[in-house]
């Protein structure tokens, strides 16, 4: 088989996702001229970046064959923490951010330990943690907080160079790192192995439990980071701000062609999925539909897309056998 | 021609209601004693009636959830179905007696259809149940907001009056719970329910034993939708109004209740007796918390902790049993 053919076979699905985003974007740009203006694209890419960062950990978790339903309140917790901590003027803001990321990681690891070491089904465990965080964050902040996030977060979200926002550049940097981890490190390959066949992993000497637990920790870390970026973008933190990201983080992964059963897919696909969602949301808003109709269309489109991706994945699986 | 006997794999011993239900009964007993000590006035038949009426919405939805968990699936769309039926009943219910009955039958049919659709997608395309029901739930919430813009509306007066009826201190809700227990006692020995347990324990072995796995799964999802529709109707009668979004918060409690009741998330273990007990446990705990002056968000925290704690304990027990 020629090299280019092999490349297409390996990456064809992911490339087709980018094709879809670009087509979608072009069609809408023709229908709505303002859509492709530089400033609007900048906003779109920042939105995609927030979805994409929240979906990094979700990709890891789904690759292992699990699911993380606790993204929304990990996200809100990260956002709230960043917003409140801005009042601590004598603490270095980098330290604050690192502290919050570490906190997100630790909370995610609670899921990880329960799922990997105690054998708790990921879906109930993460729904449970989500509920706990929902109550705790609401209780600790009494519903409303005032403050300001460290300046560096605002700069990250709103600043730009050559009309490309720093947030997007951060996302691209993270994408490169994530791809390296997934493709080139033992950890990345173990994630795939775990999703493909737990039985084989058991005999292969991979530390299954450590690999699996870490995926949930990573998810907590990036949910908190996405939350902080969101604070930078909107300029405030509020309860429930992370709620859309439960659906969006999972949808981005599914749209990107990652198998919901685990073991196949790539983060490059999730990047395309995040961009698709950002464009889709912008279109639905631009169409001036009522929120109810928006939700129905959004849900329907993603339903069809997830279904198509799953059917495609199943077919690939059965043709491999 | 010789007809080849299909390969028969041994099916494990099926115990419709696991021993874990007794653990939940013990928890319930302890909680009742605690309630009796802390607030003795709460132990009365009329109090029991009102608790039952309040908890029947989530109990009805939990019954369907339990059935889906038993086949090894999960139904995250029960909240959405409750919202849709709740909104519909608060907006469109006719006033005449026959109209109300037909309307309710229609609502149950809608629930069955939504559940059946879930089951169809899950079995036909081999998609994970959580992602199908999660996405469907999202769409359902959009539709229910289309039906009812904001909280409000009212069902027919006769409808509320009949369902909220009580005979002396015993409410209709209590009678319905007794009915549920009797029905489960009669039904759990039927072929369908045994097939449900078999499919949940080992789908492949069940298929080889001639069980129509696709059909069993489809019916289980459909029944879950139907139960959620009944829950939506009950909620409308009980609160006397509709809400396009409030029912969505009931999905997590249905899981909690099923798991406290001893139903395994892995499928094949559990049953409705446990689910009924679980519904009361959850309510008594939240009543105790309220009595102790806990603010609502801390009781949310506690519900989460309770769900996690139960599921951790059950998973550890499951794992021990399996390694044996």
Q: How confident is the model at residue B268 (pLDDT cuts 50, 70, 90)?
A: confident
Chain B contact for A67 (CB, 8 A cutoff): yes
Total residue length of chain A:
321
pLDDT on residue B94? 81
pLDDT on residue A7? 66
Tens of pLDDT, residue by residue over B281-322, are: 888 888 888 887 777 778 888 888 888 888 888 778 777 766
Contact (CB, 8 A) for B227 and B61: yes
Is the pLDDT at B225 greater than 90, yes or no? yes
User: In whole angstroms, what is the distance from residue A230 CA to residue A242 CA?
Assistant: 9
pLDDT on residue A203? 67
DSSP string, A161-173: ETTEEHHHHHHHH
Residues of chain B found within 8 Å of residue A67, distances taken between Cβ atoms: 130
Q: What angle do CA B80, B128, A57 make, to 5 degrees?
A: 90
Say which residue, A65 or B83, is predicted with more confidence.
B83
Tens of pLDDT, residue by residue over A172-182, are: 888 888 888 88
Residues of chain A found within 8 Å of residue B146, distances taken between Cβ atoms: 290, 292-293, 296
Selecting from 1.10.3470, 2.60.40, 3.30.1380, 1.10.238, what CATH number does the domain B43-315 have?
1.10.3470
What share of chain B in percent tops pLDDT 90? 22
pLDDT on residue B307? 85
* DSSP summary character for residue B216: H
**Which of B121, B149, B298 faces A139 most closely, judged by CB atoms?**
B298
Tens of pLDDT, residue by residue over B57-74, are: 999 999 999 999 999 889
pLDDT on residue B3? 46
pLDDT on residue B240? 83
Is the pLDDT at B265 greater than 80, yes or no? yes
- In 10 A of CB B85, how many CB atoms? 32
Say which residue, A29 or B241, is predicted with more confidence.
B241
- Under-50 pLDDT residues of chain A: 320-321
Q: Which of A268, A266, A254, A271 is nearest to A312 (CA)?
A: A254
User: In whole angstroms, what is the distance from residue A89 CA to residue A86 CA?
Assistant: 7
Mean pLDDT of chain B: 84
Name the pTM for this structure: 0.84
Domain A14-320 has CATH 1.10.3470: yes
pLDDT on residue A201? 66
Task: Name the residue of chain A whose CA is nearest to B308's CA.
Answer: A128
Inter-chain CB proximity A128 and B307 less than 8 Å: yes
Q: Which of B70, B204, B66, B79 is nearest to B136 (CA)?
A: B79
**Residue ranges of domains in chain A:** 14-320
pLDDT on residue A2? 64
Buried b (16+ CB within 10 A) or exposed e, A176-214: eebeebbeeeebbebbbbbbbeeeebeeeebebbebbbb
Is the pLDDT at B4 greater than 70, yes or no? no
**Residue ranges of domains in chain B:** 43-315
pLDDT on residue B110? 94
What residues contact B221, with CB distance under 8 A and at least 6 apart?
Answer: B68, B73, B75, B115, B116, B118, B119, B122, B129
| CA dihedral angle for residue B170, residue B176, residue B177, residue B180, rounded to 10 degrees | 150
For chain B, where are the E strands, in sequence order?
166-167, 170-171
Unique residue bearing structure tokens 């739930």: B137
Residues of chain A found within 8 Å of residue B248, distances taken between Cβ atoms: none
A and B: number of Cβ contacts within 8 A:
129
For chain A, where are the E strands, in sequence order?
160-161, 164-165
pLDDT on residue A249? 87
Average pLDDT estimate for B152-174: 81
Q: How confident is the model at residue B16 (pLDDT cuts 50, 70, 90)?
A: very low
Q: What is the ipTM of this complex?
A: 0.82
Say how many CA atoms lie within 13 Å of A272 toward its Cβ: 25
Tens of pLDDT, residue by residue over B90-127, are: 888 888 878 888 888 999 999 999 999 999 999 888 88
Average pLDDT estimate for B207-216: 86
């Amino acid at each position: 088989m020629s090299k280019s053919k092999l490349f297409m076979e390996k990456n064809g699905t992911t490339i087709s996702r980018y094709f879809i985003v670009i087509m979608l974007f072009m069609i809408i740009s023709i229908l709505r001229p303002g859509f492709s203006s530089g400033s609007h694209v900048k906003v779109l890419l920042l939105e995609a970046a927030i979805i994409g960062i929240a979906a990094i950990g979700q990709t890891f978790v789904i690759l292992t064959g699990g699911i993380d339903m606790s993204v929304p309140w990990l996200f809100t917790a990260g956002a709230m923490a960043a917003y409140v901590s801005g009042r601590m003027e004598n603490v270095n803001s980098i330290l604050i951010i690192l502290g919050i990321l570490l906190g997100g990681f630790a909370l995610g690891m609670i899921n990880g330990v329960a799922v990997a070491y105690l054998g708790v089904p990921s879906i109930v465990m993460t729904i449970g943690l989500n509920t706990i965080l929902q109550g705790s964050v609401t209780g600790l902040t009494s519903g409303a907080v005032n403050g300001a996030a460290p300046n560096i977060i605002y700069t990250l979200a709103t600043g730009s160079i050559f009309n490309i926002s720093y947030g997007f550049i951060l996302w691209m940097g993270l994408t490169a790192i994530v791809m390296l981890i997934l493709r080139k490190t033992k950890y990345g390959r173990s994630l795939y192995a775990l999703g493909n066949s737990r039985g084989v992993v058991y005999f292969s000497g991979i530390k299954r439990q450590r690999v699996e637990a870490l995926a949930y920790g990573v998810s907590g870390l990036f949910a908190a980071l996405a939350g902080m970026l969101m604070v930078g973008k909107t300029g405030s933190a509020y309860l429930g701000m992370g709620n859309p990201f439960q659906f969006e983080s999972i949808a981005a992964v599914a749209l990107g062609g990652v198998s919901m059963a685990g073991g196949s897919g790539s983060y490059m696909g999730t990047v395309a999925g995040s961009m698709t969602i950002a464009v889709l949301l912008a279109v639905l808003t631009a169409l001036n539909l009522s929120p109810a109709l928006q939700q129905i269309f959004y849900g329907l489109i993603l339903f069809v897309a997830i279904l198509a991706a799953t059917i495609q994945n199943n077919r690939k699986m059965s043709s491999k056998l | 021609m010789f007809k080849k006997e299909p390969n028969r794999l041994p099916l494990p011993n099926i115990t419709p209601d696991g021993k874990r239900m007794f653990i939940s009964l013990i928890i319930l007993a302890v909680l009742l004693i605690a309630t009796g000590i802390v607030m003795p006035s709460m132990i009365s038949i009329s109090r029991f009636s009102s608790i039952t009426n309040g908890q029947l919405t989530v109990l009805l939805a939990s019954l369907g959830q339990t059935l889906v968990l038993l086949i090894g699936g999960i139904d995250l769309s029960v909240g959405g179905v409750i919202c849709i039926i709740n909104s519909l009943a608060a907006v469109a219910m006719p006033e005449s007696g026959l109209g109300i009955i037909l309307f309710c039958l229609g609502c149950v049919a809608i629930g069955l259809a939504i559940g059946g659709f879930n089951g169809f997608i899950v079995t036909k395309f081999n998609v994970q149940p959580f992602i199908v029901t999660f996405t469907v739930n999202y769409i359902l919430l959009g539709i229910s907001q289309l039906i009812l813009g904001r909280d409000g509306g009212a069902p027919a007066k006769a409808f509320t009056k009949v369902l909220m009826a009580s005979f002396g201190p015993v409410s209709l809700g209590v009678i319905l719970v007794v009915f549920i227990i009797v029905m489960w006692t009669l039904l759990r020995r039927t072929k369908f329910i045994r097939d449900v347990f078999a499919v949940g324990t080992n789908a492949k072995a069940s298929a080889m034993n001639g069980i129509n796995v696709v059909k069993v799964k489809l019916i289980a999802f459909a029944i879950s939708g139907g139960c959620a529709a009944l829950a939506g109707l009950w909620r409308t009668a009980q609160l006397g109004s509709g809400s396009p979004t409030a029912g969505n918060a009931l999905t997590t409690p249905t899981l909690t209740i099923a798991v406290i009741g001893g139903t395994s998330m892995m499928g094949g273990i559990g049953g409705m007796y446990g689910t009924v007990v679980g519904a009361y446990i959850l309510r008594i705990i939240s009543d105790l918390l309220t009595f102790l002056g806990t603010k609502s968000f801390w009781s949310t925290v506690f519900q989460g902790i309770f769900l996690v704690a139960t599921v951790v304990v059950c998973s550890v027990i499951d794992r021990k049993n399996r390694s044996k």
